[in-house]
C-alpha cells in the first residue's frame, strides 16, 4: 500500500532525490560517500559567523567538530548539535547551513560533533564522543563567553536519538548541566518497525523505512544489549531530564515513538513542546523551498531561541 497520496505535493521531488536505500555492509560506504559529496560548506562569514574546525580530546578518540561563533553578538548560550544518519552515516559538514543560521539568527555558539559511526564503532563510542563535546563546552565556557547553565543539545534522526541518550547519560552522571533538548524526529526505539512492534502501516515508506531502521540499530548496538541510555525509549524513568522540544512528522517511521516519548516527559512534569507536522516524511527538509520546510525552520529557531533566551 502506497502512502504517496498522503505526502504534501511540495515534497514529491524528495522521492526521486532520496529513494529508500537498501543498506548492507557492502554498500554502506557508497551511501556515506554520496552524503559527503553533497555536503558543501557555505560562506559563514557572509552571515556574520566564524566557523572553525576543532579537535576535542576524548577518552580514546580525538573528536572532530565544527564550532560556530557569532562575530557581532554577545553570546551567552550554546547549542550542541549532533548530526543524523541512522547511526551509520552523516557528517558535521552536512548540517552547515542550519548551524550557521542558528548562530547568526539566535546569536549563540554552536558546536557540532563528528562522532564515530557504526558499525565500525558501535556503542558506547558515539555517545562517548558526544559526552566529550558536552564536557568541552562546559570546560571552555569562560573562554567562549557562555553560561554553563544555558547549554542546549539537539539533533535530527539518529542525532536526535544521541541527544536524547546524552541527556539521560548526563543526568545520571550529574557532571554537566543541560538546559534543553531539541529533538527533530529522533531515533529512540530499537523495536520500531520490527515484528514485535511493526507500527502503523501508514508510516515509514519514504527515505527511512523498516529495513533501514533494523540495519541502523543492529550496527549501532553491535553485541551490546538494547538498553538505556543508548536506546532512550528503554530508559526506566525520564524524571530529571531537561525541558524538550519534540518535532516529528505524520509519515515518519519514528512518529509514534516520538509521541510516546514526549508523553512520558509530560507525565513526568517536564516542560515539553510536541509538534506533529502532517504531510511530511523523514528528511523532508531536503526540499528547501517546500512551505513545510519553512514552517520547520521557523518553529525550530523560535523554540530554540526561547529555550536559550
Q: Which domain holds residue 47?
A: 4-308
pLDDT of residue 84: 98
Chain segment 252-308, per-residue pLDDT in tens:
999 999 999 999 999 999 999 999 999 999 999 999 999 999 999 999 999 999 999
Beta carbons of 262 and 244 less than 8 angstroms apart: yes
Domain count, the chain: 1
Contacts of 81 (CB under 8 A, 6+ apart): 95, 99, 102, 110, 111, 112, 113, 153, 154, 155, 159
Chain segment 154-199, per-residue pLDDT in tens:
999 999 999 999 999 999 999 999 999 999 999 999 999 998 888 8
Residue 1 has pLDDT above 80, yes or no: no
- Closest alpha carbon to 255 in 200, 197, 296, 180: 200
pLDDT of residue 309: 83
pLDDT of residue 21: 75
Structure-block grid coordinates of residue 152: 542546549
Catalytic residue IDs: 157, 252, 282
pLDDT of residue 20: 73
**Chain mean pLDDT for the chain:** 96
Residue with cell 510536541: 274
Angle between helices 158-173 and 125-139 in degrees, nearest 10 = 60
pLDDT of residue 22: 84
Q: What is the CATH number of the domain that holds 139?
A: 3.40.50.1820
Chain segment 110-127, per-residue pLDDT in tens:
999 999 999 999 999 999
Amino acid at each position: 500500500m502506497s502512502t504517496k497520496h498522503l505526502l504534501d505535493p511540495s515534497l514529491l521531488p524528495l522521492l526521486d532525490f532520496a529513494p529508500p536505500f537498501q543498506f548492507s555492509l557492502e554498500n554502506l560506504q557508497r551511501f556515506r560517500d554520496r552524503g559527503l559529496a553533497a555536503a558543501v560548506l557555505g560562506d559563514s562569514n557572509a552571515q556574520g559567523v566564524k566557523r572553525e574546525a576543532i579537535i576535542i580530546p576524548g577518552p580514546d578518540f580525538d573528536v572532530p567538530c565544527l564550532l560556530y561563533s557569532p562575530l557581532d553578538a554577545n553570546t551567552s548560550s550554546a547549542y550542541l548539535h549532533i548530526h543524523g544518519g541512522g547511526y551509520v552515516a552523516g557528517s558535521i559538514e552536512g548540517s552547515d547551513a542550519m548551524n550557521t543560521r542558528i548562530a547568526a539568527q539566535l546569536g549563540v555558539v554552536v558546536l557540532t560533533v563528528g562522532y564515530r559511526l557504526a558499525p565500525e564503532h558501535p556503542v558506547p563510542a558515539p555517545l562517548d564522543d558526544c559526552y566529550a563535546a558536552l564536557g568541552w563546552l562546559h570546560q571552555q565556557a569562560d573562554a567562549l563567553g557562555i553560561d554553563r547553565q544555558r547549554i542546549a543539545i539537539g539533533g535530527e534522526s539518529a542525532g536526535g536519538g544521541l541527544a536524547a541518550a546524552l541527556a539521560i547519560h548526563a543526568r545520571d552522571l550529574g557532571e554537566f548541566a543541560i538546559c534543553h533538548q531539541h529533538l527533530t524526529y529522533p531515533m529512540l526505539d530499537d523495536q520500531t518497525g520490527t515484528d514485535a512492534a511493526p507500527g502503523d502501516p501508514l508510516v515509514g515508506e519514504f527515505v527511512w523505512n523498516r529495513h533501514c531502521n533494523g540495519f541502523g540499530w543492529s550496527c549501532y548496538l553491535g553485541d551490546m544489549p538494547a538498553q538505556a541510555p543508548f536506546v532512550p525509549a528503554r530508559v526506566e524513568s525520564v524524571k530529571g531530564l531537561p525541558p524538550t522540544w519534540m518535532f516529528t512528522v505524520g509519515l515518519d517511521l519514528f512518529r509514534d515513538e516520538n509521541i510516546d516519548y514526549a508523553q512520558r516527559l509530560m507525565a513526568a512534569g517536564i516542560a515539553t513542546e510536541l509538534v506533529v507536522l502532517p504531510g511530511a516524511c523523514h528528511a523532508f527538509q531536503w526540499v528547501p523551498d517546500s512551505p513545510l520546510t519553512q514552517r520547520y525552520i521557523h518553529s525550530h529557531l523560535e523554540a530554540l531561541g526561547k529555550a536559550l533566551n
